[in-house]
Chain A
């Protein structure tokens, strides 16, 4: 009846996951009770859960990512403490638990923190920057988000029901095969990634179509803000790479569930095929993450330097070059696995070549700052911090791209330090910069600068105190994923790294405090004009938060830096006079399709993990029925009458005009 599921799945003998799970459960219940008692449930359901508004979905993506960041961060803290104490001892985490933690840490940080964070920001900002009312497929957008949430839910469920994979974040066979991982851990891993992978693919298709087909009048390709370009590149990579992940995990699952022989040691299976396939996805994946961050930095650096982006066209070219070359370097992830010197040399050179467009970008940002009137607001701090950090990470990457050096350093703590250096220094700093930069746009008030800056400095310093020691430990020969060790020389560095982790944690706390303080002082921090940073692109041309339809009129773009152009010509002042009559606006209606679909996907995923076959069929039928019901709707749009559009738009115009006249008087 319940497949492999019984009471032994609950780890009653392991206090850490049980207590952690209980705390999380109590927190969730408390929030739910608060929501219900306060009567917020209808609001949440109508305005958020069923929303197909790209801005709301973007915010929900970022919320998911932030919550998961705390989960993945807790794993990181536990690992740092373990390695600080586990010198010639077992530490406090038994090996099977430690292995689950590093696997969950990697999986969560990549798939459920970095991915939703950047996809959330792209969702929130790109339609606004393109001057359009929504993404190409609003309801699918909601489906994509909720499927991602399903994946996150399943991963976290493994904390208390069953176990998570002990195989590392990429689950290499034969270790992840049935003979060496008979438990449900790998199944949790694979099914949550399959489900959230579908969500990611949907988001990718949606955003590619949005950028290529939905741009306002005059928004030629070479007038798009850089963030739109990097969004395009990143989502093209999603469309091309995520199906590889889906196919690879499907093969692994077929091996595990039906006794197939893709990656087994018997009957002619080929383990190296898994390496090639997973990294053919895995390497583009890191560019999927970092390209949007590059876009964010481009926007931030240009805005806070008060200058147009230096070398816009070379930036576009560099972005698209990275997009293409990122598919030709995957083998550098396994130089040591016997491809031979010729192949290694080619992939080593390709890996170094990709540093060239990245270098172009760094110089473009530097030259954008050069001669600019730089304002060191929090988003700018993250950007400058990124440049310093990312160059170091990039250089160690070029070092690792040299095959002979890689033979020394692969699988060592040096590698761990390298990819944290680029992912934290690149993606996470970018996500935080974007968070600080666009927060006023999403919510209508700015974030507190003092706590934001404190958060930056603690994170920045904490990062170096944590990861420079890992570089050194790697040079001293320490391999990654060690539950305990006996080499005295490594120990001091592990202790320093743990101290760095404490500093990093203070940084995270500062950012949480920043959020709380800013919400409390929101009236003082209110952004009335919609343009708090003196921005350059179209998202700043509408109010904060933007109305559901984004723009009362589709803006007419006449050049790069569209909004800067408009401001320079003081068009707002005459806008209303020039404007034709306000017209009714049709917007897509909210739909519970995404939520209901994800509900069934959760049931199906859980049932697949535990081999509860009747439940699998039930979940599948439910998901299909949801789509049929959605397809049967007669009214998928609603109309916002012209008077309402006019009323909303005039309020914002008034605010803007008063500010402009103030500036003119001063």
Chain B
């Protein structure tokens, strides 16, 4: 086929309005990775919002079972919250340690994060087990269904986070602070902090609002 293109007139940018800032080219790997992980976190938050919405719709549907105020234990929730918020701080410490390549503080920060995460999970598990033992399991009422799903979904995320945390420690132990390991560490830290944000939502919507009613 004929290549008429070269003979055609130049098609300059017809919308030249003022100064065009030239795009500098592809971003660095670190930025691309973190950006992509942010997008993933946003999608994860959309998923959580569905469970929040379901909880909001179903929280009044107790089917003659217990209401929130009858089953929530403030003390338990307070300890859980403190654990998780503190773990966010120690996770931040571990991130800084990784950035300055300090193994000792990295391991310490990650270990404390892990322990705090595990305490949180144990407390949550005990709360769930206790409710089930009293006959208030998720199949008792739509309210309990929504409660177990929302809080349990967060708990599952924390469990996955602990698994990831241990994998990260093993990776640093085996590979050192390599560029790809550091990128993963950054994603892990974002993930852990995001779980904290979700917990603040769970704490407010489920436990605070629920206890008052």
A312 B50 Cβ-Cβ under 8 A: no
Chain A CB within 8 A of B171 CB: yes
The residues of A that contact B134 with a CB separation of less than 8 Å are none
Q: Which of A132, A136, A569 has the most CB of B within 10 A?
A: A136
A residues near B140, Cβ cutoff 8 Å: 267
Give the distance in Å from the alpha carbon of A132 to the alpha carbon of B26 in the complex. 8
Q: Does B10 contact A (CB under 8 A)?
A: yes
The size of the chain B interface, using a CB distance under 8 A, is 61
Are B43 and A568 in contact (CB-based, < 8 A)? no
Q: How far is the CA of A243 from the CA of B25 in the complex (A)?
A: 31
Q: Scan B87-108; emit 1 where CB is below 8 A from any A CB, else 0.
A: 0000000000000000000000
Task: Judge if A639 is at the interface, Cβ distance under 8 Å.
Answer: no
Q: Report, as a range, how many residues of chain A touch the other chain.
A: 35 or more
Instruction: Please pick, from A259, A308, A312, the residue contacting B139 in the complex, using a CB distance under 8 A.
Output: A259
Cα of A304 to Cα of B11 in the assembled complex, Å: 16
A633–chain B nearest beta-carbon distance, Å: 9
A220-B20 CB under 8 A given contacts A239-B39, A244-B50, A664-B6? yes
* Cβ B142 vs Cβ A261 within 8 A: yes
Cβ of B163 within 8 Å of any chain A Cβ, yes or no, is yes
Question: Interface 1/0s, chain A 559-588, versus B by CB < 8 A?
Answer: 111001101111000000000000000000
A466 → B minimal CB distance (Å)? 36
| Residues of B close to A183: CB separation below 8 A | none
Is A659 close to B, CB under 8 A? yes
> Chain B: interface secondary structure?
helix
By the criterion CB–CB under 8 Å, are A247 and B47 in contact? yes
Complex-state Cα separation, A261 to B40, whole angstroms = 29
Q: Are A312's CB and B15's CB within 8 A?
A: yes
Q: Which of A24-61 contact B (CB under 8 A)?
A: none
**A269 engages B61 (CB within 8 Å):** yes
At the interface, yes or no: B180 with Cβ under 8 Å from chain A? yes
- Contact at A136–B3, with CB atoms within 8 Å? no
Which residues in B have their C-beta under 8 angstroms from that of A243? 43-44, 46-47, 50
Report B-chain residues with C-beta under 8 Å of the C-beta of A561. Answer: 11
In contact, A205 and B167 (Cβ under 8 angstroms): no
Q: Is the beta-carbon distance between A217 and B11 smaller than 8 angstroms?
A: no
B174 touches A270 (CB 8 A): no
Known: A209-B36, A308-B11, A308-B14. A270 touches B46 (CB 8 A): no
CB of B149 within 8 Å of the partner chain: yes
A239 touches B143 (CB 8 A): no
Contact with A along B196-213 (1 / 0, CB 8 A): 000000000000000000
Judge whether B113 is part of the interface by a CB distance below 8 angstroms. Answer: no
Q: Are A247 and B145 in contact, with the CB atoms below 8 A?
A: no
Q: Is the CB of B50 within 8 A of A277?
A: yes
Chain B hits for A488, CB < 8 A: none
Q: Is the CB of B54 within 8 A of A534?
A: no
Write out the residue numbers on chain B whose beta carbons fall within 8 Å of the beta carbon of A662. 3
Contact partner of B43 among A209, A217, A240, A632, CB < 8 A? A240
Interface residues of B in 176-208 (CB under 8 A from A): 180, 184
CA distance A240 to B145 in the complex (A): 25
A214–B43 CB distance below 8 A: no
Known: A209-B35, A214-B27, A216-B26. A258 touches B3 (CB 8 A): no
Given contacts A560-B13, A567-B6, A568-B6, contact A268 B61 (CB under 8 A): yes
Q: Which of A237-272 contact B (CB under 8 A)?
A: 239-240, 242-244, 246-248, 250-251, 254, 258-262, 264, 266-270
- Select from chain B the residue with minimum beta-carbon distance to A561: B11
Q: CB-CB < 8 A to B10: which residues of A?
A: 565, 568-569
User: Is A273 an interface residue, CB under 8 A from the partner?
Assistant: yes
The answer to whether B39 and A213 have CB atoms under 8 Å apart is no
- Nearest chain B CB to A648 CB, angstrom units: 21
Which of chain B's residues has its CB closest to A659's CB?
B3
What residues make up the interface of B, taking CB atoms closer than 8 Å to A?
Answer: 1-15, 20-27, 31-33, 35-36, 39-40, 42-44, 46-47, 50-51, 53-54, 57-58, 61-63, 138-143, 145-146, 148-149, 163, 167, 171, 174-175, 180, 184
User: Besides A209-B35, A267-B140, 16 other CB < 8 A contacts?
Assistant: A209-B39, A214-B32, A216-B23, A217-B22, A220-B21, A239-B43, A247-B50, A261-B139, A267-B145, A268-B63, A268-B142, A270-B142, A559-B13, A565-B12, A569-B10, A632-B175
Q: Which residues of A approach B to under 8 Å, CB–CB?
A: 132, 136-137, 201, 204-206, 208-209, 212-223, 239-240, 242-244, 246-248, 250-251, 254, 258-262, 264, 266-270, 273, 277, 306, 308, 312-313, 529, 531-532, 534, 554, 557-561, 564-565, 567-570, 624, 628, 631-632, 634, 636, 659-660, 662-664, 666
Kindly list the 6 A-B residue pairs having the minimum CB-CB distance in the complex, ordered from nearest. Answer: A268-B61, A268-B142, A247-B50, A567-B5, A243-B47, A259-B139
Question: Would you list 9 pairs from A and B whose C-beta atoms are within 8 A, ordered by A residue?
Answer: A209-B36, A215-B26, A220-B23, A243-B47, A246-B47, A258-B138, A554-B25, A568-B5, A663-B3
